[in-house]
């Protein structure tokens, strides 16, 4: 059955499954007070520096959790600003940030998360391979104007 599926599809499916599990695990160990809305960011602890062209793809699971008793309205200046990221060293030295497309519409984006519910989204963060070496990094994320962060390690391919 799996012989007909291309390797890259199997690999992508495995990565997505691992990231979802990491996100769910991270949700269990990251306490968030009842009555609050918060963002949990899940990334692989060790990411191989496998490149696709000049890019290392870092899979990121975003989980916006509403533990309040009321629906939370979400708003972003435009659809390009729903998800933003900055990558730094552990000492907070800038490495890379998301650049917005010049053709991004100026229309505001709206959404909501129901009381006691969560929104999950998986993003593929394109890391510019020329800016990275094996080692530790910090990913800071804004998702619907809620902030979260996660640490990850880039590991050289063997």
Query: Residue 84 is part of which domain span?
Result: 2-155
Q: Which of 108, 106, 30 is nearest to 73 (CA)?
A: 108
In 3-state terms the chain splits into helix, strand, coil percentages (rounded to 5) of 20, 45, 35
Q: How far apart are CA 69 and CA 12, in angstroms?
A: 37
* Res 51: pLDDT: 80
pLDDT value of residue 50:
86
Count structural domains, the chain. Answer: 1
Residue 8 pLDDT: 65
pLDDT of residue 99: 75
Q: What is the pLDDT of residues 108-135, one digit of tens each?
A: 999 999 999 999 999 999 999 999 999 9
Pairwise CA distance, residues 59 & 13, whole Å: 11
Q: Is 6 helix (H, G, I), strand (E, B) or coil?
A: coil
Kindly report the pTM of this predicted structure. Answer: 0.76
Q: What integer pLDDT is reported at residue 22 of this predicted model?
A: 58
Tell me what pLDDT residue 130 has. Answer: 94
What's the pLDDT score for residue 36? 87
Instruction: Using 50 as the pLDDT threshold, list the residues of the chain that sit under it.
Output: 28-29
> Left if phi > 0, otherwise alpha if psi is -120 to 50, otherwise beta: which for 46?
beta
- Sheet strands (E) in 1-78: 37-42, 46-48, 51-52, 55-66, 72-76
Quick count: other Cβ atoms within 10 Å of Cβ 30? 16
The CATH number that applies at residue 113 is 2.60.40.2360
pLDDT reported for residue 102: 72
Q: Which residues, in sequence order, are CB contacts of 21 under 8 Å at separation 6+?
A: none
């Amino acid at each position: 059955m799996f012989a007909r599926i291309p390797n890259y599809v199997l690999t992508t499916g495995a990565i997505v499954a691992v990231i979802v599990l990491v996100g769910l695990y991270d949700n269990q160990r990251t306490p968030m007070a009842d009555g609050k809305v918060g963002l949990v960011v899940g990334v692989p602890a060790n990411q191989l520096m496998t490149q696709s062209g000049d890019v290392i793809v870092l899979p990121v699971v975003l989980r916006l959790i509403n533990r309040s008793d009321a629906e939370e309205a979400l708003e972003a200046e435009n659809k390009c600003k729903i998800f933003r990221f900055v990558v730094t060293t552990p000492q907070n030295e800038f490495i890379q940030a998301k650049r917005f497309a010049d053709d991004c519409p100026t229309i505001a984006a709206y959404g909501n998360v129901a009381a006691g519910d969560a929104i999950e989204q998986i993003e593929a963060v394109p890391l510019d391979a020329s800016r990275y070496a094996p080692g530790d990094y910090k990913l800071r994320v804004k998702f619907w104007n809620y902030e979260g962060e996660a640490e990850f390690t880039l590991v050289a391919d063997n």
